[in-house]
Chain A
Amino acid sequence: MRTTPFYQDRVVTAFTACAMFWAVLGMLAGVYVAAELVWPTIDFGLPALSFGRLRTLHTTLVLFGFGVSALIATAFYSVQRTSHVRLFAPRLAWVLFYAWQLTIVLGGASIMAGWNGGKEYAELEWPFDLAIAVAWVSFGIVFFGTIARRKMESIYISNWFYGALIIVVAMLHIVNSLALPATLGKSYSLFAGAQDAVVQWWYGHNAVGFLLTGGFLGMLYYFLPKHAEQPIWSYRLSIVAFWAFVYTYIWAGPHHLHYHSIPEWVQSLGMVMSLILLAPSWATMVNGIMTVSAASQKLRTDPALKFIVLSLAFYGLATFEGPMLAIKSVNVFSHFTEWTIGHVHSGALGWNALITFGTFYFLVPRLAGTPLYSARLANIHFWLALAGVMLYVLAMWGAGVSQGVLWLSLDELGEVRFSFNDVMAAMKPYYLLRFVAGLVFLAGAVLMAFNLARTFAGRRTIKVAPPGTHVAAGGSI
């Protein structure tokens, strides 16, 4: 007998599949640009394959294709279950799905064709900025509409984080994208020069903050307790960590502009707030580790949980490294170097990608109503991912520290000791290692895509018990 599933999970499945697709494609673009830094002629003189355009494509696909699709999938999955109701406005959710994927497809093509707003991590031109704003509002309507209709008294922790993601990213995106269009594919920022820089890094840093940190913490707060079958270790700590996070993160942007042409007080304030940010960041990490430690025996057998625990370790590393790099006297060396790239990837690969992988290994069998196709492949993926991200980070640390020290090195007469070209030539082995690391990480992602596709191919109609007969995540609150 076929039963109709209670929850609206088909749109979740669609977003999950697209997230996986964009992960592979976005990482492939990343591996390709990494190769271009070793073999600069492999763009074959084609504008669309040129480093600048392809690198912009890479960040756009992994951030907005992979990252956001994964966040919407998991938000829609968990908000229904923590609210005990079906998704509000399911048709709008489907409109959002098609609109978002179309924006990524056309936006990606526009970058390869040379449309570029010129602001880092917000390069898409104004027609796409408008589309993103409209899509984001529909995301908010579906999400908060579901919460407003909830049958549970309290709004669960994961939904605070997803809520903050929706609200703050909307604010950042709209303000930072303010521009005067000149033609269909070209606009000029409403802000100029130093003012534009301050706005951009308020956006750039907090896109990292509320999308890559906050959004994925929402994922953590639902899927970790669910998966470990343990309630969150400390509810009180979650409350403090959440509000401290929302308040503090927004101040930290100017650490991207240390010693730049912006006022000293803005830089120093950004530095101090970045240091304070360590507290709420690690509070969440402690909360997560304590939660999973109650279910540590599961770690031995469950590849999905291993991914999530490893992601927590990288989250801890990246949120420690960030404040350290925000100290002006450290930043003097690290700024403009590969160290920044290493830091970003210990967060993006080690934290964002790994927690998403772990979540998808948990989620897809549930969406398909059948066990994972191969736990062995998932285990292989785990080690490939760990090896890839470690190699990547080590290569970039080596490269970045070398650049930082060599660039600023003066001889006994007070002249610069090394020419820029000498330092650049010294990067070659690190760049090669980074390319290999990226390739290893990508190989793992391809294995995963195959594994999940096979799992889903064996899907059965999912029977989900109506709410009221099961306990919500964090049911002990």
Chain B
Amino acid sequence: MKLVSLHRKIERNSGLLIFGILVVSSIGGLVQVLPIVLGEAHGTPSAGLVAYSPLELEGRDIYIRESCSTCHTQQVRPLLAEVKRYGPYSRAGEFAYDRPFLWGSKRTGPDLARIGGKYSDDWQRMHLLDPRAVVQASIMPAYPWLVSRNADHGRTIEARMRALQRLGHPYTDADIAAAPAALEGRTELDALTAYLQSMGRSMAGEPQP
């Protein structure tokens, strides 16, 4: 059999086997992933998009720390029922300052891409501290520790903003220098609430369905 005798060369030479696996497994990524990563289109911020404020950024990093994206997606699909339930469907340009992206893969709780402004700050704070006080059937964990911890208690906001600045986020040196003062006296609860209220901001001009 031709195939077997051809393959005999590969299976008797470990270098050839390694090389073969490397080449064959790379093709998909080179054709499908690389153009998206190198292309401008999917990294360009949409018109209304602004970078996260220090308080919102702190809130987003808390959202990541608590792994909120395990249960909450940030991606409204272009389906009638989703647009009706949540609001305008998501566009790539909304996520240009999201490192990492937090689209999630599972909706144990509702999508949050359009949650900003839907409830008051007070509602969000109460809900985070005791979800069942406002939504009786909720199975969300309570986050009581957020209220007793100061935002940026590790004093790293400048280092974090500096890293994002290097990655191309539009923070000026003055923005970064002013960040610690902006977080002074705020709690983690304030920060997470600010982040939640910022979601979907760049799409605020879109007509509601």
- Across the interface, do B137 and A246 meet the contact criterion of CB distance under 8 Å? no
0/1 string, B23-37, CB within 8 A of A gives 1 = 011111101110011
- Across the interface, do B67 and A55 meet the contact criterion of CB distance under 8 Å? yes
- Chain B nearest CB, measured from A136 CB (Å): 14
Scan residues 124-168 of chain A and give those whose CB is less than 8 A from a CB of chain B: 144, 147-148, 153-155, 160, 163-164, 167-168
Residue of B nearest to A210 (CB): B25
A117 to B204, CA, bound (A): 29
- Across the interface, do A123 and B37 meet the contact criterion of CB distance under 8 Å? no
Answer yes or no: A171 CB below 8 A from chain B CBs: yes
- Across the interface, do A187 and B163 meet the contact criterion of CB distance under 8 Å? yes
| Interface footprint category on A | 35 or more
Return the contact of B12 from the options A37, A53, A154, A183 (Cβ within 8 A): A154
Return the contact of A261 from the options B22, B24, B91, B137 (Cβ within 8 A): B91
Answer yes or no: B172 CB below 8 A from chain A CBs: no
Residues of B with C-beta under 8 A to A144: 14, 18
A9 to B192, CA, bound (A): 51
A246-B167 contact, Cβ under 8 Å, with A53-B66, A262-B42: no
- Please tell me which stretch of A38-46, A91-99, A299-307, A319-327 contacts chain B, meaning at least 4 of its Cβ atoms lie within 8 angstroms of it: A38-46
- Across the interface, do B106 and A340 meet the contact criterion of CB distance under 8 Å? yes
Residues of B with C-beta under 8 A to A407: 81, 85, 107
- Across the interface, do A51 and B70 meet the contact criterion of CB distance under 8 Å? yes
Answer yes or no: B173 CB below 8 A from chain A CBs: no
Residue of B nearest to A183 (CB): B156
Answer yes or no: B102 CB below 8 A from chain A CBs: yes
- Across the interface, do A51 and B141 meet the contact criterion of CB distance under 8 Å? yes
Answer yes or no: A273 CB below 8 A from chain B CBs: yes
Scan residues 1-30 of chain B and give those whose CB is less than 8 A from a CB of chain A: 1, 3-4, 7-8, 11-12, 14, 17-18, 20-22, 24-29
| Interface footprint category on B | 35 or more
Residues of A with C-beta under 8 A to B68: 52
- Across the interface, do B3 and A236 meet the contact criterion of CB distance under 8 Å? yes
Return the contact of A193 from the options B33, B84, B95 (Cβ within 8 A): B95
Answer yes or no: B159 CB below 8 A from chain A CBs: yes
- Across the interface, do A194 and B42 meet the contact criterion of CB distance under 8 Å? yes
Scan residues 85-140 of chain B and give those whose CB is less than 8 A from a CB of chain A: 85, 90-92, 94-110, 131-132, 135, 137-140
Number of A-B contacts (CB under 8 A): 267
- Across the interface, do A193 and B96 meet the contact criterion of CB distance under 8 Å? yes
- Across the interface, do A416 and B138 meet the contact criterion of CB distance under 8 Å? no
A181 to B138, CA, bound (A): 36
Scan residues 104-121 of chain A and give those whose CB is less than 8 A from a CB of chain B: 114-120
0/1 string, B180-193, CB within 8 A of A gives 1 = 00000000000000
Residues of A with C-beta under 8 A to B3: 236, 239-240
Residues of A with C-beta under 8 A to B95: 192-194, 196-197, 261
- Please tell me which stretch of A249-257, A387-395, A448-456 contacts chain B, meaning at least 4 of its Cβ atoms lie within 8 angstroms of it: A249-257
Answer yes or no: A195 CB below 8 A from chain B CBs: yes
- Across the interface, do A336 and B154 meet the contact criterion of CB distance under 8 Å? no
- Across the interface, do A261 and B28 meet the contact criterion of CB distance under 8 Å? no
- Across the interface, do A52 and B66 meet the contact criterion of CB distance under 8 Å? yes
Answer yes or no: A229 CB below 8 A from chain B CBs: no
A180 to B143, CA, bound (A): 29
Answer yes or no: A383 CB below 8 A from chain B CBs: no
Answer yes or no: A266 CB below 8 A from chain B CBs: yes
A188-B164 contact, Cβ under 8 Å, with A45-B144, A235-B4, A246-B21: yes
Which 10 pairs between the two chains have the least Cβ-Cβ distance? A193-B95, A52-B67, A250-B28, A182-B163, A251-B28, A259-B77, A194-B92, A118-B64, A261-B92, A336-B107
> Can you give 9 contacting A-B residue pairs, CB < 8 Å?
A164-B25, A182-B156, A182-B164, A192-B98, A192-B100, A193-B95, A202-B28, A239-B7, A260-B77
Q: Given known contacts A196-B100, A266-B36, what 19 new A-B pairs fall within 8 Å (CB)?
A: A55-B70, A148-B14, A160-B11, A160-B17, A168-B21, A183-B156, A189-B101, A191-B100, A193-B96, A198-B36, A199-B33, A202-B28, A246-B21, A246-B25, A250-B28, A261-B95, A262-B42, A408-B81, A416-B85
